[in-house]
Protein backbone atom coordinates (compact mmCIF):
# COMPACT_ATOMS: atom_id res chain seq x y z
CA UNK A 1 0.00 0.00 0.00
CA UNK A 2 1.48 3.38 -0.99
CA UNK A 3 1.17 6.82 0.68
CA UNK A 4 -0.21 7.55 3.22
CA UNK A 5 1.46 4.64 4.92
CA UNK A 6 -0.33 3.02 7.86
CA UNK A 7 0.71 0.65 10.62
CA UNK A 8 0.02 -2.97 9.65
CA UNK A 9 -1.68 -5.05 12.34
CA UNK A 10 0.43 -7.77 13.92
CA UNK A 11 -0.58 -11.27 12.78
CA UNK A 12 -0.64 -12.38 16.46
CA UNK A 13 -1.13 -10.98 19.97
CA UNK A 14 1.63 -8.97 21.67
CA UNK A 15 2.24 -11.82 24.10
CA UNK A 16 2.30 -14.53 21.41
CA UNK A 17 6.09 -14.73 21.28
CA UNK A 18 6.59 -15.10 25.05
CA UNK A 19 8.86 -16.12 26.67
CA UNK A 20 11.34 -15.38 23.87
CA UNK A 21 10.11 -11.86 23.10
CA UNK A 22 8.08 -10.21 25.87
CA UNK A 23 4.70 -8.59 25.29
CA UNK A 24 5.74 -5.12 26.49
CA UNK A 25 8.66 -5.01 24.06
CA UNK A 26 6.42 -6.14 21.19
CA UNK A 27 3.78 -3.53 22.00
CA UNK A 28 6.23 -0.62 22.25
CA UNK A 29 8.20 -1.82 19.22
CA UNK A 30 5.03 -1.99 17.13
CA UNK A 31 2.92 0.94 18.36
CA UNK A 32 5.73 3.42 19.11
CA UNK A 33 8.83 2.60 17.06
CA UNK A 34 7.22 1.28 13.88
CA UNK A 35 4.48 3.93 14.08
CA UNK A 36 7.12 6.66 14.36
CA UNK A 37 8.86 5.48 11.17
CA UNK A 38 5.51 5.61 9.38
CA UNK A 39 4.62 9.07 10.71
CA UNK A 40 8.02 10.46 9.73
CA UNK A 41 7.88 8.83 6.30
CA UNK A 42 4.43 10.33 5.62
CA UNK A 43 5.65 13.72 6.82
CA UNK A 44 8.65 13.60 4.48
CA UNK A 45 6.46 12.67 1.51
CA UNK A 46 3.62 15.09 2.24
CA UNK A 47 4.99 17.75 -0.11
CA UNK A 48 6.07 15.31 -2.82
CA UNK A 49 2.83 14.11 -4.44
CA UNK A 50 4.84 12.82 -7.43
CA UNK A 51 6.04 10.00 -5.14
CA UNK A 52 2.68 9.07 -3.62
CA UNK A 53 2.03 6.16 -5.97
CA UNK A 54 5.20 4.30 -4.96
CA UNK A 55 5.37 1.36 -2.58
CA UNK A 56 7.87 1.71 0.24
CA UNK A 57 10.13 -0.95 -1.30
CA UNK A 58 10.29 1.13 -4.50
CA UNK A 59 11.07 4.30 -2.54
CA UNK A 60 14.01 2.78 -0.67
CA UNK A 61 15.43 0.83 -3.61
CA UNK A 62 16.44 4.06 -5.36
CA UNK A 63 17.44 6.50 -2.62
CA UNK A 64 19.84 8.27 -5.00
CA UNK A 65 16.94 9.24 -7.28
CA UNK A 66 14.88 10.85 -4.51
CA UNK A 67 14.66 14.63 -4.03
CA UNK A 68 17.67 15.66 -1.92
CA UNK A 69 15.51 17.28 0.78
CA UNK A 70 13.87 13.97 1.72
CA UNK A 71 16.44 11.32 0.75
CA UNK A 72 17.76 10.79 4.28
CA UNK A 73 14.29 10.83 5.85
CA UNK A 74 13.04 8.23 3.35
CA UNK A 75 16.16 6.11 3.77
CA UNK A 76 15.75 5.96 7.57
CA UNK A 77 11.97 5.96 7.96
CA UNK A 78 11.03 4.19 4.73
CA UNK A 79 13.61 1.58 5.62
CA UNK A 80 12.18 1.38 9.14
CA UNK A 81 8.67 0.87 7.81
CA UNK A 82 9.73 -1.70 5.23
CA UNK A 83 12.00 -3.69 7.55
CA UNK A 84 9.49 -3.87 10.40
CA UNK A 85 6.57 -4.78 8.11
CA UNK A 86 8.57 -7.86 7.12
CA UNK A 87 9.95 -8.51 10.60
CA UNK A 88 6.54 -9.02 12.27
CA UNK A 89 5.58 -11.62 9.71
CA UNK A 90 8.95 -13.35 9.96
CA UNK A 91 8.08 -14.36 13.50
CA UNK A 92 5.48 -16.80 14.85
CA UNK A 93 5.20 -19.58 17.35
CA UNK A 94 5.58 -23.20 16.35
CA UNK A 95 7.18 -22.52 12.97
CA UNK A 96 10.81 -22.41 14.03
CA UNK A 97 11.78 -26.03 13.50
CA UNK A 98 10.22 -26.90 10.17
CA UNK A 99 11.89 -25.42 7.13
CA UNK A 100 9.93 -26.18 3.93
CA UNK A 101 11.87 -28.71 1.88
CA UNK A 102 12.61 -26.54 -1.14
CA UNK A 103 14.02 -23.79 1.07
CA UNK A 104 15.95 -26.34 3.07
CA UNK A 105 17.62 -27.63 -0.11
CA UNK A 106 18.53 -24.09 -1.12
CA UNK A 107 19.99 -23.42 2.33
CA UNK A 108 22.06 -26.60 2.15
CA UNK A 109 23.31 -25.70 -1.32
CA UNK A 110 24.30 -22.10 -0.55
CA UNK A 111 25.11 -22.01 3.17
CA UNK A 112 25.72 -25.66 3.99
CA UNK A 113 23.07 -26.21 6.64
CA UNK A 114 20.35 -24.53 8.68
CA UNK A 115 22.80 -24.51 11.58
CA UNK A 116 25.21 -22.50 9.43
CA UNK A 117 22.46 -19.98 8.63
CA UNK A 118 21.78 -19.60 12.34
CA UNK A 119 25.42 -19.30 13.36
CA UNK A 120 26.40 -16.94 10.51
CA UNK A 121 23.36 -14.69 10.91
CA UNK A 122 23.85 -14.65 14.68
CA UNK A 123 27.49 -13.68 14.20
CA UNK A 124 26.53 -10.91 11.78
CA UNK A 125 23.89 -9.66 14.24
CA UNK A 126 26.32 -9.74 17.14
CA UNK A 127 29.06 -7.98 15.17
CA UNK A 128 26.76 -5.15 14.02
CA UNK A 129 28.07 -2.20 16.06
CA UNK A 130 25.29 0.05 17.32
CA UNK A 131 21.91 -0.40 15.63
CA UNK A 132 21.02 -2.47 12.62
CA UNK A 133 19.92 -5.77 11.19
CA UNK A 134 21.23 -9.16 10.08
CA UNK A 135 19.74 -10.66 6.92
CA UNK A 136 19.33 -13.74 4.80
CA UNK A 137 18.73 -12.63 1.21
CA UNK A 138 18.78 -13.76 -2.38
CA UNK A 139 21.52 -12.13 -4.44
CA UNK A 140 21.24 -11.29 -8.18
CA UNK A 141 22.58 -14.79 -9.00
CA UNK A 142 19.72 -16.33 -6.95
CA UNK A 143 22.11 -17.47 -4.24
CA UNK A 144 21.38 -17.09 -0.53
CA UNK A 145 23.71 -14.66 1.22
CA UNK A 146 24.03 -13.46 4.82
CA UNK A 147 24.72 -9.76 5.39
CA UNK A 148 24.08 -7.05 7.93
CA UNK A 149 22.98 -3.45 7.50
CA UNK A 150 23.38 -0.41 9.76
CA UNK A 151 20.46 1.62 11.09
CA UNK A 152 17.33 1.00 8.97
CA UNK A 153 19.14 0.31 5.73
CA UNK A 154 17.68 -2.60 3.80
CA UNK A 155 19.29 -5.27 1.61
CA UNK A 156 17.09 -3.98 -1.25
CA UNK A 157 19.38 -0.93 -1.38
CA UNK A 158 22.21 -3.31 -2.29
CA UNK A 159 20.23 -5.15 -4.95
CA UNK A 160 19.42 -8.08 -2.65
CA UNK A 161 16.02 -9.61 -1.94
CA UNK A 162 15.66 -10.18 1.83
CA UNK A 163 13.76 -13.25 3.03
CA UNK A 164 14.72 -13.21 6.73
CA UNK A 165 15.78 -10.31 8.93
CA UNK A 166 16.81 -9.96 12.56
CA UNK A 167 16.35 -6.57 14.24
CA UNK A 168 19.22 -5.92 16.66
CA UNK A 169 18.33 -2.38 17.62
CA UNK A 170 18.28 -2.20 21.43
CA UNK A 171 14.56 -1.31 21.28
CA UNK A 172 13.97 -4.89 20.04
CA UNK A 173 15.32 -6.52 23.21
CA UNK A 174 16.48 -4.13 25.93
CA UNK A 175 13.51 -4.44 28.33
CA UNK A 176 13.99 -8.19 28.69
CA UNK A 177 17.63 -8.78 27.77
CA UNK A 178 19.29 -5.42 28.64
CA UNK A 179 22.84 -5.52 27.24
CA UNK A 180 22.75 -9.24 26.46
CA UNK A 181 22.22 -9.10 22.72
CA UNK A 182 23.57 -12.65 22.30
CA UNK A 183 20.82 -14.04 24.57
CA UNK A 184 18.14 -12.22 22.56
CA UNK A 185 19.56 -13.55 19.30
CA UNK A 186 19.61 -17.09 20.62
CA UNK A 187 15.99 -16.75 21.82
CA UNK A 188 14.85 -15.20 18.54
CA UNK A 189 15.59 -18.37 16.57
CA UNK A 190 12.74 -20.01 18.53
CA UNK A 191 10.20 -17.65 16.93
CA UNK A 192 11.30 -17.63 13.30
CA UNK A 193 8.40 -18.30 10.93
CA UNK A 194 10.04 -20.45 8.27
CA UNK A 195 6.74 -20.86 6.43
CA UNK A 196 6.67 -17.11 5.88
CA UNK A 197 10.37 -17.03 4.95
CA UNK A 198 9.55 -19.59 2.28
CA UNK A 199 6.53 -17.56 1.09
CA UNK A 200 8.75 -14.53 0.80
CA UNK A 201 11.33 -16.55 -1.13
CA UNK A 202 8.58 -17.71 -3.52
CA UNK A 203 7.42 -14.14 -4.03
CA UNK A 204 10.87 -12.72 -4.89
CA UNK A 205 12.56 -15.63 -6.70
Where along the sequence are the contacts to Mn ion (CB under 5 A)?
167, 169, 172
- CB closer to Mn ion, 107 vs 124: 124
Q: How far is the CB of 66 from Mn ion (least distance, A)?
A: 22
Q: Which residue is nearest to Mn ion (CB)?
A: 167
Question: 65: how many CB neighbours lie within 10 A of its CB?
Answer: 8
Contact by Cβ (8 Å): 183, 189: no
Q: How far is the CB of 171 from Mn ion (least distance, A)?
A: 5
Q: How far is the CB of 80 from Mn ion (least distance, A)?
A: 7
Q: How far is the CB of 152 from Mn ion (least distance, A)?
A: 8
- CB closer to Mn ion, 138 vs 168: 168
- CB closer to Mn ion, 88 vs 198: 88
- CB closer to Mn ion, 169 vs 184: 169
| 3-state SS record for the chain | CCCCCCCCCCCCCCCCCCCCCCHHHHHHHHHHHHHHHHHHHHHHHCCCHHHCCCCHHHHHHCHHHCCCCCHHHHHHHHHHHHHHHHHHHCECCCCCCCCCHHHHHHHHHHCCCHHHHHHHHHHHHHHCCCCEEEEEEECCCCCEEEEEEECCCCHHHHCCEEEEEEECCHHHCHHHHCCCHHHHHHHHHHHECHHHHHHHHHHHC
- CB closer to Mn ion, 110 vs 167: 167
CA distance to 90, 135, 176, per residue, from 87 (Å): 5, 11, 19
Q: How far is the CB of 157 from Mn ion (least distance, A)?
A: 17
- CB closer to Mn ion, 153 vs 167: 167
Q: How far is the CB of 172 from Mn ion (least distance, A)?
A: 5
Amino acid sequence: MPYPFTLPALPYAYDALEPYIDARTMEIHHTKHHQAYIDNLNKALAHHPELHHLEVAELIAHIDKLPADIATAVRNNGGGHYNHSLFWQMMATGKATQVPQELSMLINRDVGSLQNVQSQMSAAALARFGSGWAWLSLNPEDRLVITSTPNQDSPVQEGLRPILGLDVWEHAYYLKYQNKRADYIQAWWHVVNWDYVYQLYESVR
